[in-house]
Amino acid sequence: MAFGTIEKVSGPLVTASGLSGAKIHEICKVSEKGLIGEIIEIKKGLVSIQVYEETAGIGPGEPVESTGAPLSVELAPGLLTEMFDGIQRPLDTFMNQTESDFLERGVTIDPLNRQKKWTFMPQVKVRDNVQAGDILGLVQETTAIEHKVMVPPGVKGTVKEIMVGNYAITEPICLLETAEGEQRLTMMQKWPVRKPRPTAAKLNPGEPLVTGQRVIDTFFPVAKGGSAAVPGPFGAGKTVVQHQIAKWSDVDIVVYVGCGERGNEMKDVINEFPELIDPHTGESIMERTVLIANTSNMPVAAREASIYTGITIAEYYRDMGYSVAIMADSTSRWAEALREMSGRLQEIPGDEGYPAYLGSRIAEYYERAGRFRSLGSEPREGSITAIGAVSPAGGDISEPVTQNTLRIVKVFWALDSMLAQKRHFPSINWLNSYSLYEDQINSYLDQLMGPRWSEMVNEAMAILQEESRLEEIVQLVGMDSLSQKDRLTMMTARSLRQDYLQQNAFDDVDTYTSRNKQFKMLENILYFEF
């Protein structure tokens, strides 16, 4: 812990002196108000701090205190059904404590409830040898999800004492005899957000993520443990696509990060999700959802942290053996926060003013997705599927954020403003989009549903591509000039577009289509082609 003095304030960037021994990514308390900040640069005795709260009214000469700890999240029962801001402050509790609809400055609040008692059921016995990743016990976190309390990374030893009954997350539930001496374990772990949680091995994704959206599942599937990008202009339906995947995909846990998006979009999520019934569990979708909201009117620096907070929570549930989907809406706003801080640090800008390290930061985030074997004597398999929305200005996908994202991800759902104007939703352009998982997923589905699945998918895509070619002829000389076969192709393509690819997210029946129903629909449309 060290003490220093503010030298300069530039929006969310504070420069301080005197913090000897401070390290990069260390958390500081800035000014008398105790604003939370993170060290992002150390140069010639001066420390640059990214402040996660509003800095208005802060001036030179005020104190700065380093805490000696990095930005970390609390991982324990109580995460699900909650809504946090970018640095894991629970917004409902925050609002009740401050009696304000807006974020007050300098308020210290525990991320998770310290008073609530959880029923802990042990899975180990006294004198059992345990290592990092082993399950100590189970807690029924929600009606849909069983929380597995694990031995933290870097800890191993012999169980000397194990509790059973109702405990708070900070109360000891296990006493371990380790090489360094006795160690008491609680249900809560703390983990720095910028450091990936360790695993035993990274595996190749193979099983498809079923979203219930026909255009995605049929033509541009994503694997569990894969990564996908949804770039598109304003009004093309990025947020609705992400909402649909969050609602209906066959994953165990959903982490939804609203990063710099409009507040009314997060309001829709909060209002809709509790009312939706999960088709797999029969319970509310909120029972398996964590929301992280850092809307456009919240501090810009916390936007940068919100993505890492979300992926760390996703890794925690992945380590339990669950499949997790993380939605980042939108990574463009996160990149804008990076650009703003980079500009204030006076770094040499890259393309369009973004920092030179934009590509590596985006890669760093998406590389934390995947299918993994967890630590422990009985390893479990879990996966994180990362789906990031990108909002390029004017729909120009040649800009740096989109291009750096496409270098990393294997699925590209290209949203088209022309389709959106025609009220064709989801407005995923079937000629521009692609999935690099298509071959391995189609071979998986051929075993599951029969070899005709791949045939039908390839046939349908060929018809849609042929229609694009024939349309040019029709515009020049009219439909009457086409042969009977070409007319049939045009009619089949129209049916594919209007009856299959178009899907109403707000219709109770059409909002979700099971795999078998997709097969039957496609079979009926292509009946005359086979």
Question: What is the domain-level CATH number for residue 312?
Answer: 3.40.50.300
Specify whether the CB–CB gap between 388 and 328 falls below 8 A: yes
pLDDT tens figures, 192-223: 999 999 999 999 998 999 999 999 999 999 99
Q: Residue 173's domain is classified under what CATH number? A: 2.40.50.100
In a domain, 515, yes or no: yes
**How many domains are there within the chain?**
4
Token pair belonging to 209: 């993520």
Residues 222, 367 within the same domain: yes
Mean pLDDT of 364-373: 96
Residues 425, 503 within the same domain: no
- The β-bridge relationship of strands 118-122 and 146-150 is unpaired
Residues 214, 319 within the same domain: yes
Mean pLDDT of 93-101: 86
CA–CA separation, 110 and 74 (whole Å): 9
pLDDT tens figures, 315-352: 999 999 999 999 998 899 999 999 999 999 999 999 99
Rama region for 49: left / alpha / beta (φ>0; ψ in -120 to 50; rest): beta
Asked whether residue 529 carries a pLDDT value surpassing 80, the answer given is: no
Residues 50, 89 within the same domain: no
Q: What is the 3-state secondary structure (H, E, C) of 150-180?
A: ECCCCCCEEEEEECCEEECCCCCCEEEEECC
Rama region for 321: left / alpha / beta (φ>0; ψ in -120 to 50; rest): left
In a domain, 111, yes or no: no
Q: Residue 13's domain is classified under what CATH number? A: 2.40.30.20
Task: Count Cα neighbours of 471 within 13 Å in the Cβ-side half-sphere.
Answer: 9
Q: In angstroms, how far is the first alpha carbon of the chain from the final one?
A: 73
Please give the pLDDT value at position 475: 85
Residues 136, 285 within the same domain: no
pLDDT tens figures, 278-305: 877 788 888 999 999 988 888 888 888 9
Residues 252, 391 within the same domain: yes
pLDDT tens figures, 9-41: 999 999 999 998 889 999 999 999 999 999 999
Q: Which residues pair with 139 in a beta bridge?
A: 120, 147
**C-beta atoms surrounding 27 within 10 Å:** 20
In a domain, 195, yes or no: no
pLDDT tens figures, 397-414: 999 999 999 999 999 999
Among the three residues 401, 435, 469, which one is the final residue of a domain in this structure? 435
Lowest-confidence segment of 331-340, 370-379, 478-487 by average pLDDT: 478-487
In a domain, 520, yes or no: yes
In a domain, 368, yes or no: yes
pLDDT tens figures, 145-175: 999 999 999 999 999 999 999 999 999 999 9
In a domain, 221, yes or no: yes
Residues 348, 275 within the same domain: yes
Residues 139, 240 within the same domain: no
CA–CA separation, 252 and 19 (whole Å): 44
Mean pLDDT of 489-507: 94
Residues 227, 89 within the same domain: yes
Q: Residue 497's domain is classified under what CATH number? A: 1.10.1140.10
Calculate the average pLDDT of the chain: 92
Sign of CA dihedral 508, 513, 514, 519: positive
Asked whether residue 42 carries a pLDDT value surpassing 80, the answer given is: yes
- What are the DSSP calls for 175-195, one per residue? EEEETTEEEEE-S-EEEETTS
- The β-bridge relationship of strands 118-122 and 165-167 is antiparallel
Residues 30, 64 within the same domain: yes
Asked whether residue 276 carries a pLDDT value surpassing 90, the answer given is: no
CA–CA separation, 332 and 89 (whole Å): 23
Among the three residues 435, 469, 496, which one is the final residue of a domain in this structure? 435
Q: How confident is the model at residue 243 (pLDDT cuts 50, 70, 90)?
A: confident
Asked whether residue 230 carries a pLDDT value surpassing 60, the answer given is: yes
Q: Which domain holds residue 229?
A: 78-96+200-435
Task: Count Cα neighbours of 121 within 13 Å in the Cβ-side half-sphere.
Answer: 7
Residues 454, 518 within the same domain: yes
Q: How confident is the model at residue 530 (pLDDT cuts 50, 70, 90)?
A: low
Asked whether residue 455 carries a pLDDT value surpassing 90, the answer given is: yes
Specify whether the CB–CB gap between 173 and 165 falls below 8 A: no
Which residue did the predictor score with more confidence, 294 or 383? Answer: 383
Mean pLDDT of 220-248: 92
Task: Count Cα neighbours of 335 within 13 Å in the Cβ-side half-sphere.
Answer: 34
Among the three residues 163, 187, 211, which one is the final residue of a domain in this structure? 187
Residues 205, 276 within the same domain: yes
In a domain, 130, yes or no: yes
Report in angstroms the alpha-carbon separations of 4 from 7, 19, 88.
9, 5, 26
Which is nearest to 193 in space by CA: 274, 283, 84? Answer: 84
Angle at Cα 286 formed by Cα 216 and Cα 327, nearest 5°? Answer: 40
- What are the DSSP calls for 140-153, one per residue? E-SSS-EEEEEPPT
Mean pLDDT of 511-525: 94
Please give the pLDDT value at position 309: 96
Most confident of the ranges 473-482, 501-510, 520-529: 501-510
In a domain, 516, yes or no: yes
Predicted TM-score (pTM) of the model is: 0.94
